[in-house]
């Protein structure tokens, strides 16, 4: 959630620059990364989710769709957070099983002067979400619920927005069934930004998950209630850009040349003629667009932008405080759990002899040059970076900063076990890339160790969300140990 404070700063900046009415909405999958949170991660992820709610409250969001991942800690927890939220959680198809009435608000209407905007939320239905018997909940297909809501809102609203947790393919089907939906903001499983694409009569757009980007649109909505990016509007924008360039060149010549010499400067005179022609074209296009607006036929237009939440961007102070406090609370929860575990077992650390991983010191007994090289890489100090940031008990961070998993082999299926690792495994050691080393150390058989990690091994941690610049081929060279003679 580290990018939330930067996101908040950018929202304030955009609002200050344009001073226009605005909506802040989210397509869902806001609170959790998975559809079901593992029991060992539940406490810490709930703390993070609560912090996200607090941040969105401060950012004055209007609406968030209920995504499948938002149910990751159970429906009861989401209800508790919805009660704390100052924005509206929306889902037209997450309903009570008994009476089929929505559990959360199905839709929301906002007015901006003469413009009325309707917003509907839709929870993705992939058939995998399981509710407890006492939760009285079911996710209905969008075909069962959207017709009535669309019919009602389209008669009352000028602009209709759908916040959808469905896949792109499902949302494309929705656009074929409902021409009155003008904009779909989706939170599909894709992790990439998707620029608005006109599908039938609707725009479908998405911002990459996990808060790596802020997506924003500047919309000029017209009486025609149709989208347009071509014709006179696009041509007018191009001509104005050309005019700005010509005016700049004219100004530079006028500053450089004496006024009496300008009449004999052929380049200058040609620029003046070009400017006059452009001005005539611009006036013609503006008159054309004015007539279209007057008759209600002008197309609606938009500008779309994605802002990367780069670490160098400024932070919004109030949201930054929330982020820091959440990180402290998450780490403290892990610290408390680790201390509690230490009082219930004989050794506060797992005995390494009972684990599948041996630790880097065993590797060093035969591979000292390779170990020396590894010690100079960032892998060797990966755990120390968490200590420096006071996140060494954060179970969301730990799996990628310790030696506890290789392919299908894990220390434990219980994530809390990472809080009791022996110190010899508190780094990204040799076995993260080469696999558990005990069989190889015992037999000296080179076939019992992997010499080169597959891309899938690296991509467990170097995901697009965590390391968007990762390149397996290039980055592997940087951490590849020198060849061994053994």
Q: pLDDT by residue (tens digit) across 153-185?
A: 999 999 999 999 999 999 999 999 999 999 999
Beta-strand relationship, 405-406 and 409-410: antiparallel
- The predicted model gives 226-249 an average pLDDT of 82
CB 209 within 8 A of CB 186: no
Size of the chain, expressed as the number of residues it contains: 486
Superfamily of domain 4-229+299-313: Metallo-dependent phosphatases (3.60.21.10)
CB 356 within 8 A of CB 432: no
Model confidence pLDDT, tens digit, residues 199-227: 999 999 999 877 788 999 999 898 889 88
Sign of CA pseudo-dihedral 278, 284, 289, 294: positive
Choose among 25, 121, 120, 39: nearest CA to 72.
39
- The predicted model gives 106-131 an average pLDDT of 92
User: Checking phi first, is residue 334 left (phi over 0); if not, alpha (psi -120 to 50) or beta?
Assistant: alpha
Model confidence pLDDT, tens digit, residues 377-396: 999 999 999 999 999 999 98
Mean pLDDT value across the chain: 90
**CA–CA separation, 2 vs 327, rounded Å?**
9
Band of residue 343 on the pLDDT scale cut at 50, 70, 90: low
Band of residue 346 on the pLDDT scale cut at 50, 70, 90: very low
- The predicted model gives 1-15 an average pLDDT of 92
CB 411 within 8 A of CB 352: no
Q: How many CA atoms lie within 13 A of 308 on its CB side?
A: 7
CB 302 within 8 A of CB 227: yes
User: Could you tell me the two tokens for 182?
Assistant: 């003008």
**CA–CA separation, 328 vs 120, rounded Å?**
36
Contacts of residue 192, defined as CB under 8 A and 6 or more positions apart, other chains included, come to 206, 208, 464
- The predicted model gives 48-71 an average pLDDT of 96
Band of residue 230 on the pLDDT scale cut at 50, 70, 90: low
Beta-strand relationship, 138-139 and 159-164: unpaired
- The predicted model gives 443-472 an average pLDDT of 86
Global pTM reads: 0.78
Tokens 């941040």 correspond to what residue? 55
Render 261-318 in DSSP notation, one character per residue.
GGGG-HHHHHHHHHHHHHHHHHHHHHHHHHHHHHHT-PPBEEEEEEEE--TTS---HH
* Residue percentage of the chain with pLDDT more than 90: 62
Superfamily of domain 345-479: Flavocytochrome C3; Chain A (1.10.1130.10)
Q: How many CA atoms lie within 13 A of 265 on its CB side?
A: 14
């Amino acid at each position: 959630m580290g990018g939330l404070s930067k996101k908040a700063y950018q929202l304030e900046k955009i609002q200050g620059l344009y001073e226009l009415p605005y909506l802040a909405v989210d397509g869902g999958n806001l609170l959790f990364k998975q559809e079901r949170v593992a029991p060992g991660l539940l406490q810490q992820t709930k703390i993070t989710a609560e912090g996200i709610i607090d941040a969105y409250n401060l950012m004055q969001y209007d609406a968030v769709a209920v995504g499948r991942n938002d149910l990751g800690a159970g429906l009861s927890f989401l209800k508790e957070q919805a009660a704390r939220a100052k924005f509206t959680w929306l889902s037209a198809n997450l309903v009570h099983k008994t009476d089929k009435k929505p559990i959360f608000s199905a839709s929301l209407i906002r007015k901006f002067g003469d413009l009325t905007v309707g917003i509907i939320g839709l929870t993705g239905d992939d058939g995998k979400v399981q509710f407890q018997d006492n939760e009285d909940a079911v996710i209905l297909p969008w075909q069962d619920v959207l017709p009535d809501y669309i019919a009602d809102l389209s008669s009352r609203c000028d602009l209709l927005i759908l916040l959808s947790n469905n896949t792109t393919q499902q949302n494309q089907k929705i656009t074929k069934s409902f021409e009155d939906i003008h904009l779909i903001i989706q939170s599909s499983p894709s992790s990439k930004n998707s620029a608005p694409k006109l599908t039938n009569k609707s725009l479908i757009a998405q911002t990459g998950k996990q808060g790596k980007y802020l997506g924003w649109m500047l919309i000029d909505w017209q009486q025609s209630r149709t989208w347009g990016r071509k014709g006179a509007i696009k041509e007018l924008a191009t001509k104005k850009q050309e005019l700005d360039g010509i005016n700049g060149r004219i100004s530079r010549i006028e500053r450089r040349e004496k006024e009496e010499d300008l009449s004999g400067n052929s380049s200058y005179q040609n620029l003046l003629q070009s400017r006059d022609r452009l001005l005539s074209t611009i006036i013609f296009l503006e008159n054309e667009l004015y007539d279209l607006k007057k008759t209600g036929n002008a197309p609606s237009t938009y500008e779309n932008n994605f802002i990367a939440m780069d670490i160098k961007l400024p932070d919004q102070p109030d949201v930054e405080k929330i982020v820091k406090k959440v990180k402290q609370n998450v780490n403290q929860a892990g610290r408390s759990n680790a201390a509690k575990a230490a009082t219930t077992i004989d050794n506060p650390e797992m005995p390494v002899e009972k684990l599948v991983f041996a630790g880097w010191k065993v590797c060093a007994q035969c591979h000292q040059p390779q170990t020396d090289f590894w010690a100079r890489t960032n892998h060797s100090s990966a755990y120390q970076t968490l200590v420096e940031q006071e996140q060494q008990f954060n179970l969301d961070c730990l799996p990628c900063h310790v030696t506890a998993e290789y392919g299908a082999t894990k220390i434990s299926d219980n994530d809390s076990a990472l809080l009791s690792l022996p110190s010899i495994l508190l780094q990204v050691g040799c076995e993260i890339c080469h696999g558990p080393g005990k069989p190889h150390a015992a037999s000296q058989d080179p076939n019992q160790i992997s010499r080169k990690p597959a891309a899938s091994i690296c991509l467990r941690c170097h995901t697009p969300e965590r390391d968007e610049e990762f390149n397996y081929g290039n980055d592997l060279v940087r951490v590849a140990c020198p060849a061994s003679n053994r």
